[in-house]
Amino acid sequence: MRFVLSAIAAVLAAVLLMMPIRTFVSSRDATVLSAEDAPEAPVAIVFGAGLRRDGKPSDVLRDRLTVAVELYKLGKVKRILVSGDNRFEEYNEPQAMHDALVEDFGVHPGAIAVDYAGRRTYDTCARARSVWGVEDAVLVSQSFHLPRAIWTCERLGIRSFGVSASLQPYMKETSFMLREIPAILRAWWDVYVWPPRYVEGEFEEDLAS
């Protein structure tokens, strides 16, 4: 009996280990390191990544905005969809992202779409498809997050390509990378087992063209 339980545990462990590996491998060919090498798409999706104490984008988030602006100025995308957490009045990731794009990078406000309910990667992908009509997108995030973002958006109906925003070493980067393992397992659970609730909302605007 003990042998059988050990064998079952070993099989489960192997399956759990294969999930992150498959996620990374499946997204490898859909990721580039620079905006110049990215394909054209109607929209770039920028995922939230925290704010500083003064309410400005964190270093991780600012690098994502930097790459999104490069894509926009190179003509790779027509619009930038910024998506982040705004559950609390005093914490507004998407508005901070919008303001930085306009004030610091000189992006015209009309080129920016703001999603105030992108609380998680799953939520951002689901809402991009259902609320904003996105069918094809360039995803902008750091290399440690892109595989999960691409994998999730693809399975929620968005043809996705990723551009790395890893422009510098980051504090806690190792912990970010390690955190991706349980996060990927959670993403598989969300997609295939128990889809989570998210703020669905009414259709906002068609960013598909």
* pLDDT tens digits along 43-60: 999 999 999 999 999 999
pLDDT, tens only, 110-134: 999 999 999 999 999 999 999 999 9
pLDDT, tens only, 140-159: 999 999 999 999 999 999 99
Secondary structure of residue 44 in the 3-state scheme: strand
With CA atoms as reference, report the closest residue to 139 among 153, 156, 118, 119: 153
Dihedral pair phi/psi, residue 87, rounded to 5°: -70, -25
Rg (CA), the chain: 18
pLDDT band for 139, please (50, 70, 90 cuts): very high
The structure tokens listed for 111 are 């080129």
The hierarchical CATH code for the domain 2-192 is 3.40.50.620
**pTM metric for this prediction:** 0.88
Delimit the domains of the chain by residue range. 2-192
Cβ atoms within 10 Å of 69's Cβ, excluding its own: 22
